[in-house]
Amino acid sequence: MVKINIVCIGKVKDKYIRDGIEEFSKRLSRYANFSIVELSEEDDNKGIESAISKETERIINVINKKSQSYNILLDLKGKQKSSEEMAELLEKITIQKSEINFIIGGSNGVGDELRRIVDFRLNFSLFTFPHQLMRLILAEQIYRWISINNNIKYHK
């Protein structure tokens, strides 16, 4: 069973978002070992660049410990794909890797070092989403991609 992690900065504060994530976590549990790794958010009072650097370092430390994983960064400068294309990509990844990390940086972004070391950069949309809500959207999309690959009547 593939392990899928969402590696992200900060905690989800709103109950409705936590409830939604929990619902998709339950649905995913039949098909994947799903978890969320929350890393502390840096106070940007000492400067945005310093905050980005420290948060990026935390993310890199986590994904380096998972050396056999495939790392996908949610990035405005990444590539856009359809749900079907992402389902196909996940299928290909799981043939070679047993773990996938989806990375959501902090509200100030991530450092270029992280962009260089990830395996794929995914752009969800040209819209701006709150980081907490993006976790719910991502959890739903992961379930959608797995549904497509397993012929579950969810994706239409």
Q: What percent of the chain has pLDDT over 70?
A: 99
* Cα dist from 70 to 29, 87, 121, whole Å: 19, 15, 11
> Does residue 1 sit in helix, strand or coil?
coil
* Domains, the chain, ordered by start: 2-149 (3.40.1280.10)
Q: At what angle do helices 131-149 and 83-96 cross, to 10 degrees?
A: 80
Summarised one tens digit per residue, pLDDT across range 28-78 is 999 999 999 999 999 888 789 999 999 999 999 999 887 789 999 999 999
The candidate with the shortest Cα–Cα distance to 104, out of 1, 6, 4, 5, is 6
Looking at residue 156, what is its pLDDT? Answer: 66
Q: Look at the pTM and tell me if it is higher than 0.85.
A: yes
